[in-house]
Amino acid sequence: MSAKKVLLDQYDLHNILYNNVIADISDEESNKSIADPMNSVKWLAGHLLWAQANLANIGGTQIEVKWRDHFHTKQGGSPADFNAPKSELPTLQQIKDKWNEDGPVIRKGLENLPDAALDTVINAPHPIFPFDNTLAGLWAFINHHQAYTIGQIGILRRGLGKDAMKYS
Protein backbone atom coordinates (compact mmCIF):
# COMPACT_ATOMS: atom_id res chain seq x y z
CA MET A 1 0.00 0.00 0.00
CA SER A 2 1.39 3.41 -0.93
CA ALA A 3 1.94 6.23 1.54
CA LYS A 4 -0.54 8.35 -0.38
CA LYS A 5 -3.25 5.69 -0.05
CA VAL A 6 -2.69 5.51 3.72
CA LEU A 7 -2.85 9.30 4.02
CA LEU A 8 -6.00 9.44 1.87
CA ASP A 9 -7.62 6.67 3.95
CA GLN A 10 -6.94 8.71 7.07
CA TYR A 11 -8.40 11.79 5.39
CA ASP A 12 -11.55 9.84 4.52
CA LEU A 13 -11.85 8.51 8.07
CA HIS A 14 -11.52 12.02 9.50
CA ASN A 15 -14.39 13.21 7.30
CA ILE A 16 -16.62 10.47 8.70
CA LEU A 17 -15.51 11.02 12.29
CA TYR A 18 -15.87 14.82 12.06
CA ASN A 19 -19.52 14.47 11.16
CA ASN A 20 -20.08 11.74 13.74
CA VAL A 21 -18.40 13.54 16.63
CA ILE A 22 -20.54 16.69 16.25
CA ALA A 23 -23.78 14.79 15.54
CA ASP A 24 -26.66 15.68 17.85
CA ILE A 25 -24.84 18.60 19.47
CA SER A 26 -26.96 21.75 19.39
CA ASP A 27 -25.52 25.14 18.58
CA GLU A 28 -26.15 26.20 22.18
CA GLU A 29 -24.29 23.16 23.50
CA SER A 30 -21.44 23.72 21.03
CA ASN A 31 -20.70 27.09 22.63
CA LYS A 32 -20.24 25.67 26.13
CA SER A 33 -16.87 25.13 27.70
CA ILE A 34 -17.25 22.26 30.14
CA ALA A 35 -14.23 23.43 32.16
CA ASP A 36 -11.99 26.47 32.09
CA PRO A 37 -9.77 26.86 29.99
CA MET A 38 -11.04 24.12 27.63
CA ASN A 39 -12.16 25.05 24.14
CA SER A 40 -15.76 24.62 23.10
CA VAL A 41 -17.01 22.11 20.55
CA LYS A 42 -17.75 24.97 18.16
CA TRP A 43 -14.24 26.38 18.40
CA LEU A 44 -12.66 22.96 17.85
CA ALA A 45 -14.99 22.17 14.90
CA GLY A 46 -14.22 25.58 13.38
CA HIS A 47 -10.50 25.13 13.99
CA LEU A 48 -10.59 21.81 12.14
CA LEU A 49 -12.34 23.57 9.26
CA TRP A 50 -9.68 26.31 9.29
CA ALA A 51 -6.91 23.66 9.27
CA GLN A 52 -8.41 22.02 6.17
CA ALA A 53 -6.87 24.86 4.16
CA ASN A 54 -3.47 23.26 4.76
CA LEU A 55 -4.66 20.05 3.13
CA ALA A 56 -6.13 22.04 0.25
CA ASN A 57 -2.72 23.69 -0.24
CA ILE A 58 -0.97 20.31 -0.28
CA GLY A 59 -3.37 19.10 -2.98
CA GLY A 60 -3.03 22.30 -4.99
CA THR A 61 -6.64 23.35 -4.54
CA GLN A 62 -8.10 26.55 -3.21
CA ILE A 63 -10.90 26.84 -0.70
CA GLU A 64 -12.33 29.90 0.97
CA VAL A 65 -11.32 29.92 4.62
CA LYS A 66 -14.51 31.16 6.23
CA TRP A 67 -14.52 32.71 9.66
CA ARG A 68 -10.74 32.67 9.80
CA ASP A 69 -10.82 35.44 12.39
CA HIS A 70 -12.41 33.05 14.90
CA PHE A 71 -10.57 29.73 14.53
CA HIS A 72 -6.85 30.18 13.87
CA THR A 73 -4.17 29.83 16.54
CA LYS A 74 -1.36 32.18 17.50
CA GLN A 75 1.20 29.54 16.51
CA GLY A 76 -0.34 28.50 13.20
CA GLY A 77 -2.04 31.68 12.08
CA SER A 78 -0.92 33.51 8.98
CA PRO A 79 -0.93 37.27 8.36
CA ALA A 80 -4.15 36.72 6.39
CA ASP A 81 -5.69 35.11 9.49
CA PHE A 82 -4.55 37.85 11.87
CA ASN A 83 -5.72 40.60 9.50
CA ALA A 84 -8.99 38.96 8.43
CA PRO A 85 -12.06 41.16 8.61
CA LYS A 86 -14.27 40.51 11.59
CA SER A 87 -17.07 38.08 10.84
CA GLU A 88 -20.14 36.90 12.67
CA LEU A 89 -19.59 33.69 14.63
CA PRO A 90 -21.15 30.88 12.57
CA THR A 91 -23.46 28.21 13.87
CA LEU A 92 -22.18 24.68 14.30
CA GLN A 93 -24.39 23.65 11.36
CA GLN A 94 -22.77 26.31 9.12
CA ILE A 95 -19.33 25.01 10.09
CA LYS A 96 -20.37 21.41 9.37
CA ASP A 97 -21.93 22.41 6.03
CA LYS A 98 -18.75 24.22 4.96
CA TRP A 99 -16.64 21.19 6.00
CA ASN A 100 -18.78 18.91 3.84
CA GLU A 101 -18.74 21.37 0.92
CA ASP A 102 -14.94 21.64 0.96
CA GLY A 103 -14.19 17.96 1.63
CA PRO A 104 -14.68 16.59 -1.90
CA VAL A 105 -12.67 19.46 -3.43
CA ILE A 106 -9.77 18.91 -1.03
CA ARG A 107 -9.87 15.14 -1.49
CA LYS A 108 -9.78 15.43 -5.29
CA GLY A 109 -6.67 17.61 -5.08
CA LEU A 110 -4.97 15.19 -2.68
CA GLU A 111 -5.96 12.21 -4.83
CA ASN A 112 -4.50 13.87 -7.93
CA LEU A 113 -1.22 14.68 -6.20
CA PRO A 114 1.55 12.65 -7.86
CA ASP A 115 3.05 10.08 -5.47
CA ALA A 116 6.53 11.45 -6.16
CA ALA A 117 5.43 14.89 -4.90
CA LEU A 118 5.15 13.45 -1.39
CA ASP A 119 8.96 13.26 -1.22
CA THR A 120 9.31 16.98 -1.96
CA VAL A 121 11.23 18.76 0.79
CA ILE A 122 9.31 21.79 2.02
CA ASN A 123 10.13 24.72 4.23
CA ALA A 124 7.25 24.30 6.65
CA PRO A 125 8.54 22.76 9.87
CA HIS A 126 6.09 20.96 12.11
CA PRO A 127 6.50 19.79 15.70
CA ILE A 128 6.10 16.05 15.20
CA PHE A 129 9.14 13.87 14.69
CA PRO A 130 10.40 11.55 13.18
CA PHE A 131 8.59 13.10 10.20
CA ASP A 132 10.97 15.03 8.06
CA ASN A 133 10.11 18.20 6.20
CA THR A 134 8.60 16.51 3.20
CA LEU A 135 5.12 17.06 1.86
CA ALA A 136 4.21 13.58 3.15
CA GLY A 137 5.50 14.49 6.61
CA LEU A 138 3.42 17.66 6.69
CA TRP A 139 0.33 15.78 5.50
CA ALA A 140 0.89 13.12 8.18
CA PHE A 141 1.20 15.84 10.83
CA ILE A 142 -2.03 17.51 9.67
CA ASN A 143 -3.79 14.13 9.78
CA HIS A 144 -2.54 13.70 13.34
CA HIS A 145 -3.79 17.19 14.23
CA GLN A 146 -7.21 16.38 12.80
CA ALA A 147 -7.45 13.09 14.72
CA TYR A 148 -6.26 14.70 17.97
CA THR A 149 -8.81 17.51 17.70
CA ILE A 150 -11.64 15.13 16.82
CA GLY A 151 -10.67 13.24 19.98
CA GLN A 152 -10.95 16.44 22.02
CA ILE A 153 -14.46 16.97 20.68
CA GLY A 154 -15.23 13.35 21.61
CA ILE A 155 -14.30 14.08 25.23
CA LEU A 156 -16.37 17.27 25.26
CA ARG A 157 -19.27 15.36 23.73
CA ARG A 158 -19.27 12.99 26.70
CA GLY A 159 -18.96 15.98 29.06
CA LEU A 160 -22.12 17.39 27.49
CA GLY A 161 -23.92 14.14 28.39
CA LYS A 162 -23.99 12.77 24.84
CA ASP A 163 -23.42 9.17 23.80
CA ALA A 164 -19.92 8.28 22.63
CA MET A 165 -19.08 9.08 19.01
CA LYS A 166 -20.03 6.37 16.54
CA TYR A 167 -17.48 5.07 14.05
CA SER A 168 -19.97 3.98 11.39
Helices 135-159 & 3-21 angle (0-180, nearest 10):
20
Q: Is residue 30 part of a domain?
A: yes
Instruction: Say which amino acid occupies 108.
Output: K
- Give the count of domains, the chain: 1
Q: Is residue 149 part of a domain?
A: yes
Q: Is residue 90 part of a domain?
A: yes
Q: Is residue 164 part of a domain?
A: no
In 3D space, the residue among 118, 167, 139, 134 whose CA is nearest the CA of residue 54 turns out to be 139
Q: pLDDT tens-digit profile of 54-71?
A: 899 999 999 998 887 777
| Residues β-bridged to residue 134 | 121
Q: Is residue 111 part of a domain?
A: yes
Q: Is residue 167 part of a domain?
A: no
Q: pLDDT tens-digit profile of 63-121?
A: 998 887 777 666 666 677 667 778 788 999 999 999 999 999 999 999 999 999 999 98
At residue 156 the predicted structure's pLDDT band, cuts being 50, 70 and 90, is very high
Structural domain for 17, as ranges = 3-159
Which CATH number is 87's domain given?
1.20.120.450
